Each structure stands twice: as structure tokens, then as C-alpha cells.
Structure 1
């Protein structure tokens, strides 16, 4: 938990350094927990016009790194489609990226909520139906022989063991108040059980 807090503070410090030349008003970070145990850290920076977020899941356990990579490739493929759809609407500054244990958003203020909702949709409601699992395998860039021993049940087991609300930290920095951030985060992630299931 201490490492996540340090990462969050570093993330906020880097953001404030990056935008310091614009003379924005950075406020002290505010930290709170959602009812399901998710920790949220918010650093308001008035006048920035953008909002950045990083969702990190701590304490993930995966004996098979191929499973994590398969899942990450699948999430990033979905993120690319989301980013393309946002660009088509003129929201060129909106971007969502995923890793096996984190998600990042970089948006203008108007597109932050849709982006965070999209992150929650993929993290809280992934599907391991055959079609999705076949897509996951087709996106794998490593040795294809590694996929022979992986099943959809393995991916589901990895998700069940690794994706827990109580181990999740969300850092939000930018042109947003802590109360607005709490409302948006609660809508997006408030229904997540302490131990998530597919």
C-alpha cells in the first residue's frame, strides 16, 4: 500500500511540474475510500482543462505471465477501439490505455467521465466467452505455443484472484474537484464487490 501511495504522489508531482508553466492552481491532494474499499486520491488543478487518472491494482498474483499478457493485449485492443471512437467524435485529447494491473486515462474535462466509465466496464465486466477468448489468443504477440495450455477458465481464474476492489487505487489529477471526482468514481466503481467475479 505504501508503494501505491508513493507512486500516486509521484504521479501528481510529475503532473504539477508539467503544467507549472501554465500557472494553474494546484491544491493539496485529498484521499478517501469508496464503500467497497477502493482508495481514491484526487489532486485538483484549476484551469488545466484536462484530467488524468491512473487505476492500479496491487497484490496481483499470477503464476503464468502469459495469461496476464493475453488479458492485457485484449484490454489494450478494446482501448484502441474506444480511443478511435472518441477521436471520431472530435475528442482528440482523450486516451485510455491498459496494462494487466492498471488503466490510465488522459482526457479533457468533458470526456473524463465516459473514459473512466469505459475503464470500469472493462475491469468490472470482462467476458471470457469463447469469442472473447479467441480474440484474446489472436492478439497475443509472444510464442503461440504458450497458448496451447491456456483455457478461458484459466483467464477467469486469474481475474477472480487478481481483480479486487480492496486492492485498487485510483489517482485523479487535473481540473476536477474532489467532490466531483468522488461522485464520478462512485458511479463507475461503487458497485464493484470487494472480490470481483466474472
Structure 2
């Protein structure tokens, strides 16, 4: 028999996130809706017509994913070439936006189902894709700014402290006492960092 107490590794005030609570319910509702809609459309237009519609959506999704992948590879090649040329102006950032959403659109089109096909077709509309890309970018920036100020702020700060060609080692500075040849005073309780 289980009790209402949280597990030992979870604090008493911690609650299950909304995403973990509602994601399985959302996926189950989506699958039921897709199956129901497929049966309704198959009854209205016929099974063979529905099969042709799903096959066409699959082929369109494959074409979209291939085009987005080719565009992403071309943008990567151009970025590498720009970085190899000294003083190159950063251009083409606008063209690289939306590749992830194009791939998502292709994936949604390839999944058998009419609701996923509708969402995939909506993501193919350029103004809608650009607006969704800007919204997603702002949401990620907000989450990252909260994360950098939270518990992982120290880790992010340490990662930012690293510069190319140098390493920052946090520690304590131990000054050598004034003496012949820089020997330490034996009354100091701290051992030397490196043996002399």
C-alpha cells in the first residue's frame, strides 16, 4: 500500500510537472482522435481514397524533410566558409531560420493521420512558420535566463569564464613566505600545492 509521502530523493514541496502529468493524456487523446477521424473519412470517401491521401502526405513529408536537410547542410557549408575567411561579414542568418520547423512539418506529414497532416501543412506556410520560430526562440531565451539565475547559474558562469587557449582553475591562492629561495614557513598548517 502506498502512502501520500513523496519519495526520499524528492523534497516534500516538489510537485510533478504539468508536462509529465498531461503529456501522456494528450498523446492518448491525439491517437484516439486520429483513429476516429480516419474511420469517419474512410467511411465518407472510401478506404482506397484515404490510402492515396495518406500516401501523398507521406511522399510530401519526405520531400520536405529532404529539402530542409539539404538547406541546413548548405547553410552549414556557407558558415564554415565564412569562418575560414578573415573579416567575413555574418550574412545569411535569416535563411537558416526555420529548418527545424520544416523538418517537423515533414515529420508530421509522414505520420499517418489527418490531424498531424493538417499541422504539418500549417507549418509549411512561411509567415506562420516565421512567427512560430520567433515565439519559440523567445521562449527558449526566457527559460535559459531563468536557468542561468537559478541553481545552475554557477555552472553557466564557469562555462562563460573559459576563454580559448586558457583554463580557469578556481581555488585558493597560497602566498610563499618571504624567505631564502621562496621556502615556506613550517608553522603554516596548509601543505604546499605542489611538492618542491
Larger helix proportion, structure 1 or 2?
2
Which has the larger Rg? 2
Larger strand proportion, structure 1 or 2?
1
Q: Which structure has more RCO (C-alpha within 8 Å, separation ≥ 6)?
A: 1
> What range is the shorter-chain TM-score in?
under 0.3
| Structure 2 length-normalised TM | 0.23
